[in-house]
Structure 1
């Protein structure tokens, strides 16, 4: 069977579930979060169960995703693909079955007619102090769901998974994106990749999730790095033991 992002995560769990999977930095708040493969997979499973059981999500449905560079964006991408949903980054609200938004894009997300979920994106995955009207508070809803996920209908590798710029890409094509990027950047065991690109862009998706999955290496995900002093990146590369930095389209 062709690889998909979901099968790559399963392989990471089988190989070494305790190793770091993602380290998130927000240079506007000073937040740092590190998740192991097992902890990341736990969040993905809980979110996929929320989608499948509470929101009645089914393979082929479209999810308009309005989320910034964040570890919870990685979680939502993997959860959507675990269920077999099509992610539409930053658009497609009118035809979406589900809209997922961060705290800064709620007005855009309100145009969606389907279910709406909001993420507070607060440290440690905390909920909103007061849930926004018309939205489910992700942090409040996800906690009670199981940390193992079994889809009612197994997603197909050749099923649509990502829609961008008028084109739709399958789950297996996304895994190929990751493998090709990992090969281009020469990623191998012992490497640690840093990305400051938005996960809702194709280049950011490759750098911030797909290539690390394909190569089996940790990723350091940076939000608001452009607001930080130039020396911050140099220090982060050293302290996080980064071997490859992707901060622009050319890597």
Structure 2
């Protein structure tokens, strides 16, 4: 979850300028364009920036007035708390699906505490972590999304439609006050749609800072999800869905 000094510099530049091209970032940081592209992919996977054609822009609506170091540390603490809260839904012998989000990845230590668990995920790093915990793990193949550790594409889609997990844990970039879940990455949104169709129980993992925002692509309504798990109580957010915090 940590980022490099150069990635921190890129974020600072984007905070100041709003949008910068890969070429401009390369000149400002004295770094090759290929390295900048890898940095931008990393920052997008952490939901800190939005990749656009030829460059990147900052997620101003989610990141304003929050120092980077504090935001990173706080996000880790929140994700751990959310995973702990969600762990009450785990039972021995379950088949568990985790989406490609980093938040869902924090469920792995809690899954490992149960017997005879089977895990499916389209996040390669989550899969490696799960294997190291001794969990029987299936990593869903496919194309890397924006050169990240998350897989998507036709191979992934055809695999997911054949999997019927007992429980799905997933997250997304944000959710508005009307209860609609959004994400800026089309491929990841489609993967989640397929996962949701086959899961016996769906669990949405969300920290409070994601509430009240919208992004590029709408995924679903929280009213169609079985359980929502937050890191704290959110009085202004109302849903008919079961809530854990």
**Under a length normalisation based on structure 2, what TM-score does the superposition of the two structures give?**
0.30
Structure number, greater radius of gyration: 2
Higher relative contact order (CA 8 A, sep 6+): 1
